[in-house]
Chain A
Amino acid sequence: MKKYLVISIAIILGVMTFLPFLWMISASFMSTGAANTYPPKLFPDKFDFSHYQNLLTRLNLARYLLNSLVISLGVTFFSLLLNSMAGYAFAKYRFARKKRLFKFLLSSMIIPGQVTMLPVFLILKNMGFINTYFAIIVPGMASIFGIFLIRQYALSIPDSLIEAAKMDGATELQIYFRVILPLCKPILVTLGLFTFMGTWNDFLWPLIVMTDSSMYTMPVALANLMSEHVQDTELMMAGSVITIVPVLIVFLALQKYYIKGIMMGSVKE
């Protein structure tokens, strides 16, 4: 009895959270103006794909989609590579002042991102990276949170595994790529997902460093669109759908591993 109660509450809550999302998709297919009628419609009378056509052709959204994709994938790839190398080193290598260096890095996490925005912008400008993909990829290539996450995970890998690989004849790089990385897969997926979604959804930083409209990312482009086409709700919804879908696909595809990642270590295997 109690079980059914919990399930029905969960279903109600689920529907309530999902409804706006559903309506966004539904409205994106309504013909112009139909979304604002009273009483509001839940489903389009007939499916109208013109907004999508508009967005991808006239409004050049394909270009922004590509920008977002290149940037997000680039940041994810490089940050996973560098964070895992650094995290692994902090977990398993012996070197002078390791602890102190790590604490120093951790303590820098309390500095709010906004504080460093201006200096980072100036540095990137001097390097000539403004209005290039590098302006977002380079600052995102390593994160202390990521290093911390991987380090904590790598600590649980027994030293003897690394030693066994050494005796088996592996070089340091081979140990990293063929033993450490595969073992870190759950945490890499988790971190990769965070990074991808964070980068994809980021609005402020791309807005600052991408002044040329051809370099806009999806959220920036969408915001821009909004100011030009305030009344066109259906167009905006179609834009939102295009923005969200890639993240959704990535999330759903990796969900299985992701859950494994955050559950990791909670139970002894």
Chain B
Amino acid sequence: MAAVKLINVSKVYDGKNKVVHEVDLEINDKEFVVLVGPSGCGKSTTLRMIAGLEEISEGEIFIDGKLVNNVQSKDRDIAMVFQNYALYPHMTVFDNMAFGLKLRKFSKNEITERVNHAAKILDMEHLLDRKPKQLSGGQRQRVAVGRAIVRKPKVFLFDEPLSNLDAKLRVQMRAEITRLHQRLEATTIYVTHDQTEAMTMGDRIVVLKDGIVQQVDSPMNLYNRPANKFVAGFIGSPAINFIDGKIVKENGLAFISREKLISFQLSPDNSEKLIPYIGRDVTLGIRPEEFRIESKGGYKINVEVDLVEQLGSDVYLHFNLEGIPFIGRVKPTMDFRSRKEFELYFGSEMIHLFDSAEGKKIN
């Protein structure tokens, strides 16, 4: 097991396209770190540089304290699970898992033992004689994971391993991989574009955008204290609601949206930080679940709901404010379909304010 350290790592394609920008990252031993971000943000490229499948243009990568920039993949002692599984089609499941061990000259007994053990953990002992094309998507995924674990590598790398599975299987495999990590306690770097996967699996999450690290933090911190507008918008489902406005000074500090439909006093705790932003454009972010249907203090807004989505445990209320679509997430305490006009309340503790121009969080 090992720590992984990236110092100032960049990737430039064809001498001009910089797709990963000076990534600094320290991944501790036994940690499960998720790289998440929208398509094309450089997640795979970063992972592949760690794997040794892609040259490192600038910076240094250390695995277990050893500089690996010029170490070949096969000598880095890492294993990777690919999005398309990448099983060898001409080999049986057993041979697929045994291949890496055979190349590393393990004894026959050791190979059999390790493969059987992995098959047992992944509940696929009955599949060992099959060829990959005789397996379902979920089973192939298992074999791919099995192939990674039999080698007992220092670091596991996953590149969107679940994105080819259907929704139900994805949830199941998600839990399985998390459990596997708890059991094996191996350092794991997991790439996904799915924020739910990131939130549920990661000890820490790295949010990437356009090859730049936006924030590295635990799932809860990422959710409650996003570093900027992008992170706030990316993490959470349904997504956070944004509305532009200004900070003004009346008594204390207050936020007023452009068309003044939302206006409320900001809590004095943050005024220190907010004073420089008086009169400037800011963006307010409110998570859907911050809206409440009953008043327990807080601020009131009158909304006209144009769509109600009932999920059983929750109800999503869709409405427009100043031409911007909002979603509120409330408990199903009443029949929301019977009327359109609602009074919604929210408190000022859990709101987020961002500098509109830079996107930086300011409160």
Binding site for B on A (CB under 8 A): 158, 160-161, 163-171, 174, 178-179, 182-183, 185, 269
Stretch of B72-80, B110-118, B167-175, B301-309 on the interface side: B72-80
Distance of A237 from chain B, by nearest CB (Å)? 44
For B82, give the chain A residue with the smallest CB separation. A160
We find that the number of chain B residues with CB closer than 8 angstroms to chain A is 24
8 more CB-based (< 8 A) A-B contacts, given A160-B82, A169-B100, A170-B103: A164-B86, A165-B99, A167-B73, A168-B147, A168-B151, A169-B74, A171-B74, A174-B103
A residues near B151, Cβ cutoff 8 Å: 168
B90 near A164 with CB under 8 A, answer: no
Distance of B110 from chain A, by nearest CB (Å)? 15
Distance of B97 from chain A, by nearest CB (Å)? 10
Cβ contacts A to B, 5 pairs, < 8 Å: A164-B87, A168-B99, A168-B103, A169-B104, A269-B133
CB of B84 within 8 A of chain A? yes
A167 near B78 with CB under 8 A, answer: yes
Taking chain A's interface residues, is the majority helix, strand, or loop, or is none over half, making it mixed? helix
**A249 and B52 alpha carbons, distance in the complex (Å):** 48
B133 near A158 with CB under 8 A, answer: no
B residues near A158, Cβ cutoff 8 Å: 84, 86
**A168 and B82 alpha carbons, distance in the complex (Å):** 13
Given contacts A163-B82, A167-B73, A169-B74, contact A182 B100 (CB under 8 A): no
Taking chain B's interface residues, is the majority helix, strand, or loop, or is none over half, making it mixed? loop
Distance of B85 from chain A, by nearest CB (Å)? 8
**A174 and B102 alpha carbons, distance in the complex (Å):** 11
B90 near A182 with CB under 8 A, answer: yes
CB of B184 within 8 A of chain A? no
B residues near A269, Cβ cutoff 8 Å: 133
CB of B51 within 8 A of chain A? yes
For B98, give the chain A residue with the smallest CB separation. A168
Given contacts A160-B82, A160-B86, contact A166 B74 (CB under 8 A): yes
B residues near A183, Cβ cutoff 8 Å: 89-90
**A170 and B72 alpha carbons, distance in the complex (Å):** 11
A170 near B74 with CB under 8 A, answer: yes
**A160 and B82 alpha carbons, distance in the complex (Å):** 7
A164 near B74 with CB under 8 A, answer: no
